[in-house]
């Protein structure tokens, strides 16, 4: 095969280069940017309504706690009203900025008035209703002993709401803003509702006082008795919170049908010569026994008879108060 000359090779090389030079240059690659999300504004959407201003009438523990809690939720407290100006001033120090304090105030017309009493219905504000107010009640089911801690306790609490339609709507808005939960009762049932609240809170404290006094009789120091029984009570409340029903949370001799221990308790309490503690034990024992959904066996009927006998042993009637024990132990008070 004949060799190609150098001249021919150069011509071929130059032709190849010419073809390469003649080829169109590639366009640089474009960087693809992700599309930006555009949120279309809806002209029909309304901005959140401003929180209403409030005036607190009554600057006690609950009134002051409610003022602090509402201010933290964005409400503006424009007045604190109290019988004593010093009380209003003390409560105003918890707020920023401090609202004006007034010993008395004439309420404006056409507004909503809510009271926080547990026992009174909205009818207690009938004079304000006659002046054009929508009236209602807003009772928190919490125990408030201090304004600062009480303000936090009011967040997430249960509230009983009743009253005129406009007032009930305003009250439920307050509850929502506080992160709480509202329920309603009829105005005629407000006293019965409050009795239930007193049994669950105030009477629970009174019952705890009886238990600590009883433990102190055993030689345990008052402070130790209180702290020890507090731990026990907290565990009982924890059981209530976690159990599906009250009956499932019940513990102790009545829950496990240990009637021999119950009889020993009745004998020891009877030996104290105090009708009050014996009656409390017997009344609550009968209730505990009924919670177990039994009571049909012979042994159940026997212990129920003994509990009834303990209640009647020192005379029927109202349990004497602490100061009346010496003179009227177990007798009926007129």
DSSP string across 81-141:
E-SSHHHHHHHHTTSSSPPPEESS--PPSS-EEEE--SS--GGGGHHHHHTT-EEEEEEES
Distance of alpha carbon 114 from alpha carbon 40, whole angstroms: 41
Our count of domains for the chain comes to: 2
| Residue 19, in any domain of the structure | no
Distance of alpha carbon 229 from alpha carbon 221, whole angstroms: 12
| Residue 305, in any domain of the structure | yes
For residues 282 and 237, membership in a common domain is answered with yes
The two tokens of residue 206 are 């009174």
| Residue 1, in any domain of the structure | no
| Residue 80, in any domain of the structure | yes
Residue 194, C-beta contacts closer than 8 angstroms, at least 6 positions apart: 118, 119, 139
Each residue's pLDDT tens digit, 159-181 = 999 999 999 999 999 999 999 99
For residues 282 and 302, membership in a common domain is answered with yes
For residues 215 and 131, membership in a common domain is answered with no
The domain spanning residue 171 has which CATH number?
3.40.50.720
Give the 3-state secondary structure of residue 62. Answer: helix
For residues 116 and 231, membership in a common domain is answered with no
For residues 161 and 63, membership in a common domain is answered with yes
| Residue 300, in any domain of the structure | yes
For residues 266 and 314, membership in a common domain is answered with yes
Write down which residue in 190, 224, 249 finishes a domain. 190
**Which residue segment(s) compose the domain that 264 sits in?**
202-324
Q: What is the pLDDT along the chain (334 residues), one digit of tens a residue?
A: 555 555 544 545 555 554 555 545 555 555 555 554 454 455 566 666 778 899 999 989 999 999 999 999 999 999 899 988 888 888 888 887 666 665 555 555 559 999 999 999 999 999 999 999 999 999 999 999 899 999 999 999 999 999 999 999 999 999 999 999 999 999 999 999 999 999 999 999 999 999 999 999 999 999 999 999 999 999 999 999 999 999 999 999 999 889 999 999 999 999 987 788 999 999 999 999 888 865 567 877 888 888 888 877 754 443 333 443 333 333 333 3
Write down which residue in 144, 165, 190 finishes a domain. 190
> Tokens 């003649």 — which residue?
22
| Residue 317, in any domain of the structure | yes
Q: In what order do the strands lie in the sheet with 112-115?
A: 112-115, 134-140, 158-163, 181-184
For residues 320 and 275, membership in a common domain is answered with yes
Q: What length does the chain have?
A: 334
For residues 239 and 162, membership in a common domain is answered with no
For residues 109 and 167, membership in a common domain is answered with yes
| Residue 47, in any domain of the structure | no
For residues 222 and 306, membership in a common domain is answered with yes
| Residue 13, in any domain of the structure | no
Based on its alpha-carbon atoms, the radius of gyration of the chain, rounded to whole angstroms, reads 38
pLDDT attached to residue 130: 94
pLDDT attached to residue 51: 85
For residues 182 and 59, membership in a common domain is answered with yes
Distance of alpha carbon 125 from alpha carbon 113, whole angstroms: 8
Write down which residue in 190, 219, 240 finishes a domain. 190
For residues 177 and 253, membership in a common domain is answered with no
């Amino acid at each position: 095969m004949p060799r190609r000359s150098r001249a021919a090779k150069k011509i071929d090389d130059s032709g190849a280069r010419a073809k390469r030079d003649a080829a169109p240059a590639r366009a640089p690659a474009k960087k693809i940017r992700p599309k930006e999300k555009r949120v279309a504004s809806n002209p029909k959407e309304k901005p959140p309504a401003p929180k209403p201003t409030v005036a607190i009438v009554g600057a006690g523990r609950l009134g002051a706690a409610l003022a602090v809690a509402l201010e933290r939720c964005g409400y503006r407290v424009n007045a604190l009203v109290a019988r004593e100006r010093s009380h209003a001033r003390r409560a105003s120090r918890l707020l920023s900025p401090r609202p004006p304090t007034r010993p008395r105030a004439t309420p404006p017309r056409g507004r909503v008035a809510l009271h926080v009493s547990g026992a009174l219905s909205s009818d207690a504000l009938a004079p304000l209703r006659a002046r054009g107010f929508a009236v209602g009640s807003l009772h928190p089911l919490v125990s408030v002993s201090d304004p600062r801690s009480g303000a936090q306790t009011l967040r997430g609490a249960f509230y009983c709401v009743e009253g005129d339609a406009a007032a009930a709507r305003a009250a439920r808005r307050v509850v929502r803003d506080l992160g709480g939960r509202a329920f309603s009762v009829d105005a005629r049932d407000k006293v019965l509702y409050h009795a239930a609240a007193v049994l669950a809170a105030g009477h629970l404290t009174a019952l705890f006082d009886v238990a600590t006094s009883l433990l102190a009789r055993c030689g345990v120091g008052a402070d130790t008795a209180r702290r020890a029984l507090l731990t026990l009570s907290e565990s009982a409340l924890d059981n209530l919170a976690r159990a599906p029903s009250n009956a499932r949370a019940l513990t102790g001799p009545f829950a496990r049908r240990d009637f021999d221990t119950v009889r020993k308790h009745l004998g020891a309490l009877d030996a104290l010569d105090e009708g009050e503690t014996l009656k409390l034990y017997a009344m609550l024992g009968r209730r505990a026994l009924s919670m177990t959904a039994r009571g049909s066996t012979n042994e159940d009927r026997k212990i129920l008879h003994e509990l009834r006998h303990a209640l009647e042993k020192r005379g029927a009637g109202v349990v004497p108060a602490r100061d009346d024990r010496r003179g009227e132990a177990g007798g009926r008070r007129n």
